[in-house]
């Protein structure tokens, strides 16, 4: 058996999704004439209580368009130390928008509004960099799929507005946060000026993200999307997969969360130092291998020989991600392979 737990981006479109894609009405989206893209943009904007949305090929581009609307060249965006915008977008904020970043650290990526606000420096005058926006990631990827507490988001919003700062939400997995917390999308939408969402993660679309904001910001963001070379033509073929994902796959995400919990509990039963299942909020399981005599890369290589693929994200940090293409049989097989390898590694100590 082959079980790919490296990421929820590895899902392949189902037959039913492919059929919807094949039949999608399309037009030239650079002319604003693709009905499937237009309806997807309207649909997702409305879900979050936003005026407008722009479809993008990647979540990174959706993030970059969002923060570009909030922060001018030479100004500063602040974010959590292990956030995707800072660590996994290859310096795009600096390269494309002349944005500098400063970060605050948070255990498991969990937002503490006071920590964020403590490093914010708006209106810093002619000598020091001025902070103009704060980015929040929900769920937090490298934090282990953690769901941000709503009261901290509310406190951050209040403090940020008092300081005249804007807020961006990296909501690549906001779907998972909503399913786990029960907080409505429109409630999350209230606190952020710009929002990015990904259809290509747990929702299982092959491609596609959106940036949501005011009409004015989205009109501007469309110009930048084209300038970056990402104006797409009959892209309704792909937007149709997004519609299908929202219709059908959103309501399946709770299975991913249940399966991640199962994997966490099995690993925890080998050694409680590896992972605390109570810290697994959604579909991501972070394994802390510091108590083991092997590296994360060595552990990944061990389980790969038995067909289980995982990510080594740090010298002693491995990540497992459940998704649409992992069923209960795959979950049970992976749990046994992972537990067996962890036991052998512990015994070799």
Ligand X SMILES: *Cc1c(COP(=O)(O)O)cnc(C)c1O
Under rule CB under 6 A, residue 113 binds ligand X: no
x-or-dash string of contact with ligand X, 159-178, rule CB under 6 A: -----------x-x------
Under rule CB under 6 A, residue 8 binds ligand X: no
Under rule CB under 6 A, residue 109 binds ligand X: no
Q: Which residue lies nearer to ligand X by CB, 83 or 271? A: 83
Q: Which residue lies nearer to ligand X by CB, 153 or 339? A: 153
C-alpha–C-alpha distance, residues 1 and 330, integer Å: 8
Give me the least distance between CB of 75 and ligand X, in Å please. 21
Under rule CB under 6 A, residue 260 binds ligand X: no
Number of H helices, E strands in the chain: 14, 12
Q: Which residue lies nearer to ligand X by CB, 137 or 281? A: 137
Report residue 251 CA to chain centroid gap: 18
- Spell out the long-range contacts of 156-160 with Cβ–Cβ below 8 A and sequence spacing 24 or more: 156/111, 156/113, 156/116, 156/117, 156/191, 157/190, 157/191, 159/113, 159/114, 159/116, 159/117, 160/117, 160/120, 160/134
Binder among 11, 52, 60, 64 for ligand X (CB under 6 A): 60
Decide if 339 contacts 270 (C-beta within 8 A). Answer: yes
CA dihedral 39, 44, 50, 53 (to 10 degrees): -60
Give me the least distance between CB of 140 and ligand X, in Å please. 7
Return the residues of window 204-243 that contact ligand X according to CB under 6 A.
209
Binder among 5, 53, 59, 224 for ligand X (CB under 6 A): 59
x-or-dash string of contact with ligand X, 119-158, rule CB under 6 A: ------------------x---x-----------------
C-alpha–C-alpha distance, residues 330 and 308, integer Å: 9
Name the segment binding ligand X (CB under 6 A); options: 38-46, 52-60, 65-73, 324-332.
52-60
Cβ neighbours of residue 110 under 8 Å, at least 6 residues apart?
A: 140, 143, 146, 148, 149, 152
**Residues binding ligand X (CB under 6 A):** 58-60, 63, 84, 137, 141, 170, 172, 198, 200-201, 209
């Amino acid at each position: 058996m082959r079980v790919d737990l490296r990421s929820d981006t590895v899902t392949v479109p189902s037959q039913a999704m492919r059929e919807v894609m094949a039949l999608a009405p399309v037009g030239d989206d650079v002319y604003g004439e693709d009905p499937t893209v237009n309806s997807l943009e309207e649909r997702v904007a409305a879900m979050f209580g936003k005026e407008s949305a722009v479809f993008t090929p990647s979540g990174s581009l959706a993030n970059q368009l969002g923060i570009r609307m909030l922060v001018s060249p030479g100004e500063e965006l602040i974010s959590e130390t292990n956030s995707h915008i800072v660590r996994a977008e290859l310096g795009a904020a600096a390269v494309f928008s002349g944005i500098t970043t400063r970060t605050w650290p948070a255990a498991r990526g969990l937002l503490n509004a006071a920590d964020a606000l403590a490093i914010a420096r708006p209106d810093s005058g002619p000598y020091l960099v001025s902070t103009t926006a704060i980015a929040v990631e929900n769920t937090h990827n490298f934090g282990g799929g953690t769901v941000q507490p709503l009261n901290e988001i509310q406190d951050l919003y209040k403090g940020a507005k008092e300081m005249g700062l804007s807020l961006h939400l990296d909501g690549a997995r906001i779907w998972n946060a909503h399913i786990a917390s029960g907080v409505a999308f429109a409630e999350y939408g209230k606190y952020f000026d710009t929002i990015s969402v990904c259809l290509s993660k747990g929702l299982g679309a092959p491609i596609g993200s959106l940036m949501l904001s005011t009409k004015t910001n989205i009109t501007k963001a469309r110009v930048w999307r084209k300038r970056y070379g990402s104006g797409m033509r009959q892209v309704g073929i792909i937007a149709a997969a997004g519609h299908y994902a929202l219709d059908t796959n959103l309501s399946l995400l709770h299975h991913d969360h249940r399966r991640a919990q199962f994997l966490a509990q099995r690993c925890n039963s080998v050694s409680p130092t590896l992972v605390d299942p109570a810290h697994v909020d959604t579909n991501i399981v972070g394994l802390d291998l510091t108590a083991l005599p092997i590296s994360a890369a060595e552990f990944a290589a061990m389980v790969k020989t038995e067909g289980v693929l995982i990510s080594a994200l740090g010298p002693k940090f491995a990540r497992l991600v459940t998704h649409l293409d992992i069923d209960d049989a795959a979950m049970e097989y992976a749990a046994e392979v992972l537990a067996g390898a962890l036991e052998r590694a512990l015994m070799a100590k």
